[in-house]
Structure 1
């Protein structure tokens, strides 16, 4: 009988400390500690994030191991996020993973955070249909907006990306302009569901190829709100749902237009999404519509695998373990780390 492969995944790229245990690709535990400290600052403060990781990492890993009902000695390998992300945050996870792997005398596996968002689609679950190679992945988060051609587990090519801000930032900054608390993206989604998406028209940036740009869009939202508030100080309050619906509609259209172009250029009609912004209901609904209207096959992960989590790091580690792709203990964190 084949031996069970237990992978401990550790994720610390931004402001969530996460640990997960996978056995042969199936989740036994997936623990995330979120940091509330950033809310009062309206964004992630790197120094505070790394301090919170130091406080959270031991209890989170301990909880993941005990919830999985295994012992430390059962762990086959330790997978960790090497990058991209905030340097201080990455250092906490990297150092801890190296120390633990050394102490347990098990292999160390470095994982690219963006690849892991895509590989989350391969977590073993009965209700979970996996995409077949080749497919297109759209990774959308607070720091990234990319279209990736995926030919194999680790054979990926970025064919389109943002030239400035990420889509998650466009959501959060728009929310901030409207006076909504951080993180504002989910609140825009919440209000948008009750609003009219065509109440207000926002420009769609003209960017060549499959690339994106959101800085001009954010500026347009700012100028629009400033102009309207000058004429009526209660404008935002009176029209919040319609403004949110119009912002969300425009962002979703920008993403959809580029996906249509990517499908046309590559001839690949399998689309998988990943990253925190893929939790957005507007994006999910647009993809489900595209399945019907454009004959696409869309793969949308469960909510718990969209935001930063360690299950996706562990599944990437699992596939690297099968290939015996282990890291040297001299490996270091990388804030910028391309797919």
Structure 2
């Protein structure tokens, strides 16, 4: 019987390992960041990401066992992200999982990274427990550097895509604006920090598709508008007005995200909503979502920041649930830059 799994997440630039059981309890989760390695390039370099995963992964597995005070005797399966993501990065995690599976004679299962984010609100540990009344169905907004989508989630494996960004993801938009403003990479967190002392009404930025009849979103126009604004102001004025610029730009993104989340909740008469993914760590987005939930009498769940960003705990939880019902992967399973057609309805 599958009760506890070792999980591996290497879909992008962060290497993460966790030990999770099928109740959602995280016994340990450890990670290695690559921000410093990619900062000088202004973005993630896939070859560097893969190389660093290969260096960090085995030591992190050993650390996860030590932190949980467990050994391989306590593990019943291995869950590993195999889609979507950077192919080279995925290969490192997948080959490691396959090798360990054969060496330890335990099954492994490839997991969709996005499914992990959608179930991350169920995760719990010694410091955090989700609300007791949190359960299916719920409306979920998954937002990160690579993905921005709305879902109606009705059960394990039952993820209905309502809408998605037609171009740039919200996290990508944050990072590109930060880079153009001279804040470096990754810059989304820096925009959030500066915005706290800025005026969100100081500058006018577009809210594309905010009144559209669909649940779809678009952020490429906002990114272009931000670039034009920075060029018109010039370096000195940009530096003087960075808090106001960041607050105004951030508010445009948050306005669209909250409007679409509200629209989906109304359409499905939802009682529960979630934010998940790296951008759900944004303080302004969290505050606006909490205000929406209060005004509309909705149960809002946002995972702790450690489970918002890419992490192996969410992969382990999905893996434990799916393996408990008999699912495993064949040894010839490959990585994919995209989700499978069968992953979402």
Cα deviation for residue 147 of structure 1 reads 0.3
Distance 1:102 1:325 in 2: 17
Which residue number corresponds to residue 97 of structure 2? 97
User: Structure 1 residue 56 and structure 2 residue 60: aligned?
Assistant: no
Distance 2:304 2:124 in 1: 12
Which residue number corresponds to residue 308 of structure 1? 310
Distance 2:261 2:229 in 1: 27
TM-score (norm 2): 0.94
Distance 1:50 1:314 in 2: 21
Cα deviation for residue 4 of structure 1 reads 7.9
Aligned residues: 334
Cα deviation for residue 295 of structure 1 reads 1.9
Which residue number corresponds to residue 12 of structure 1? 10
3-state SS of paired residue (1:41): coil
Distance 1:269 1:128 in 2: 15
TM-score (norm 1): 0.95
The answer for unaligned runs of 5 or more in structure 1 is none
Distance 1:319 1:262 in 2: 27
Which residue number corresponds to residue 141 of structure 1? 144
Q: Are 2:118 and 2:142, in contact at CA under 8 Å, matched by a contact in 1?
A: yes
Cα deviation for residue 197 of structure 1 reads 0.8
User: Structure 1 residue 88 and structure 2 residue 88: aligned?
Assistant: yes
Which residue number corresponds to residue 280 of structure 1? 282
Which residue number corresponds to residue 27 of structure 2? 28
User: Structure 1 residue 108 and structure 2 residue 113: aligned?
Assistant: no
The answer for unaligned runs of 5 or more in structure 2 is none
1:181-260 mapped onto 2 (5 Å cutoff):
181-206=184-209, 208-229=213-234, 233-260=235-262
Cα deviation for residue 107 of structure 1 reads 1.0
Alpha-carbon RMSD across the aligned residues, in angstroms, is 1.4
Cα deviation for residue 257 of structure 1 reads 1.0
Distance 1:56 1:11 in 2: 12
Cα deviation for residue 73 of structure 1 reads 2.7
Which residue number corresponds to residue 336 of structure 2? 334
Cα deviation for residue 296 of structure 1 reads 2.0
Q: Are 1:195 and 1:243, in contact at CA under 8 Å, matched by a contact in 2?
A: yes
3-state SS of paired residue (1:10): strand
1:204-251 alpha-carbon deviations (Å, 9 max, x no partner): 11255111111111001111111122xxx4111111101111011111
Which residue number corresponds to residue 177 of structure 1? 180
